[in-house]
Structures are given as C-alpha cells and as structure tokens.
Amino acid sequence: MNMTTPYAYQFWPGPMEGVAKAEFVATVNELDLVSRWMTPFLRVSEIPAPRKTVAIFLAPFLRSGKPVTLQLMGDDAKILAETAKTAVALGAEGINLNCGCPSKRVVRHHSGGAMLNDATLIGEICRAIKDAIGEKEFSLKFRSGSGDWREVENFLPPLAASGDVDGFFYHCRTVAEGYTAIADRKERFLTAAQAAGDVPLVLNGDFDDGAESFAILAECRAKGAMIARNWMRDPYLLRRCEKQDAPDAETGRQLFFTTFCAKNPPRGAQLEICRMLWGEKSPVFRKLCKKTK
C-alpha cells in the first residue's frame, strides 16, 4: 500500500453500540457511506452465542455487501473463539475483540476496558480466536490504558510479537478519560505506532478529513483511521476522506436524516440520531423535541 497518497488509507466507521441499529445501518448502506463495517460489540459470557443470534446480529451489516468485522466482547477465551467461528461461517470477514469500552457496567464484568489490566488474558483470548478463525483477520480494539496512557508501551509489544493479531485499532484515550478532549493525541499515536511493531495499526480518536489528521496517519505509517462521532456529525466524512465525491456536511446530514426517518424508526431513535447529527443545542434538534412532546 502506498502510504503517501491519502486515499490509500483504510477509513473505518467507528462501532457505535446503541446507535448502529437496523434502520441506521440500512441508511448507511442505502447512501453507500462506508467501504467496510465493524459492528458494535456482541457481548458473550455464559455460553457461545447461538448461530441464530449471530446471524441476526450480522444481517444488517452483511446486507451492505461490504466486508464485515464482528466485534466481540467477553473474557472467556473458549466461548469467544466458538462464537468467532460461527461468525466467520456466516460471512464475517474478520473478528475484533473489544478491549476499550469504558462503560461502568462492562468494566464491572471484567470486559471491555477492564481487560487492559490483564494482558495475559488478552493474549490467551487472541490465541484462541486466531486458532478458531484461521485465515480470517483477527484484530484488537483497545484504549491507551486504564488510567495512564503510557500503559500501551507495556501491553502492546508482547501482543504484537505473539503473531496472533493481524491488526490493531487504537483509541488514544485511557478508559478513565472516557470521551474527554486530550491535548497530546499525536504523541500517543506515535508511541502506539512504535509499540505495534509490524502489525498494521488503525488510529482512532477525533479524526477528520483535515490536514492534521492526514499528517498523523503519514507520520505513524498507519493503515488507516477509524472515525465515530465526527462521522455522525458529517455522514459523508469517510467518503470525503477517501477522496470520493460527497455533498457538503449540512446537505449530508439532511439526506441522512430524511433517509433514516423514511424507514420509520422509533421516535426515540429519531431524536437520538438528530442529536448526534446536529447536536443538542441545535434548532433542528430542539424543534424535533418540541414536536415529540
């Protein structure tokens, strides 16, 4: 891949649990807004997810005809590996393990971001999933650490050296930082790029289509960027990053919302998507709230 031409990078939609429901995914597919999908997390704990559950979960994403990566969350290697096997049999191109979710409920259950405290367990899970899915891509999505962003320098090199992980998705915040703005994002990306060694790295955290984002991608020799919230504020953002024709941000928001509402999603979902597109202080959102009362 030529790392100097911007469109050679991969641009990924950030998984968004609670947002990427059927009507949302159908809207993205209809407007052709992404080149690939990573699903939100499917949490598996007591038993491997039954085939039917995985099929229903994957279906809206697979309908796009684009490569789909299923994201899994859990802390039991055998159960996760079994579920991963089912998912690839159903058409998933890749499996991703969530090691970053900061939700208190998730962390309490020793999953998501809490996993960063147990690198040995992450390694065991990676090995089990990779063994189960063979040639299909296995990747890890993680934050910089639990409380200190430099934790990444400790847990990442052994995972990179293990040979079990085909790619990393790195969200530069710590679990404790949640979604707060951070000032030293570039330093964090460069540090992770070093720690990842030869394993391809996709960067995540406040990316957009601006010159600064592309400069970071080039400096880190990254494989690409994953964008969540900025994509929701500008639904054609990933297409613009890929240097494809795209309408301006406001036209894109209107097109997205009209297409989404035409699918008759529940009123609450309409409000949530409107809030993500325009922000809760926007006249559009306020007007919709008034209508709903």
Ligand X SMILES: Cc1cc2nc3c(=O)[nH]c(=O)nc-3n(C[C@H](O)[C@H](O)[C@H](O)COP(=O)(O)O)c2cc1C
Binding site for ligand X (CB under 6 A): 14-19, 40-41, 71, 98, 100-101, 141, 171, 204-207, 227-230
Closest separation between CB of residue 49 and ligand X, Å? 15
**Contact indicator for 92, 56 with CB cutoff of 8 Å:** no
Which is closer to ligand X, CB of 106 or CB of 195? 106
Report in angstroms how near the CB of residue 143 gets to ligand X at its nearest: 8
Whole-angstrom Cα distance, residue 42 to residue 80? 10
Considering beta carbons, is residue 17 or 124 the nearer one to ligand X? 17
Dihedral sign for Cα atoms in the order 256, 261, 263, 268: positive
Smallest distance from the beta carbon of 96 to ligand X, in angstroms? 8
CA dihedral 181, 187, 192, 195 (to 10 degrees): -150
Compute the distance between CA of residue 194 and CA of residue 189 in angstroms, rounded to an integer: 9
Comparing CB distances to ligand X, the nearer of 2 and 41 is: 41
Exposed (0-12), middle (13-18) or buried (19+): which is 285, by Cβ within 10 Å? middle
Nearest to ligand X by Cβ — which residue?
14
Taking alpha carbons only, the member of 59, 1, 63, 68 closest to residue 35 is 68
| Smaller CB separation from ligand X, 84 or 228 | 228
CB of 103 to ligand X, least distance (A): 9
The conformation of residue 114, written as its DSSP 8-state character, comes to G
Gap between the Cα atoms of 94 and 134, Å rounded: 10
Q: How far is the CB of 172 from ligand X (least distance, A)?
A: 8
The residue (of 17 and 93) whose beta carbon lies closer to ligand X is 17
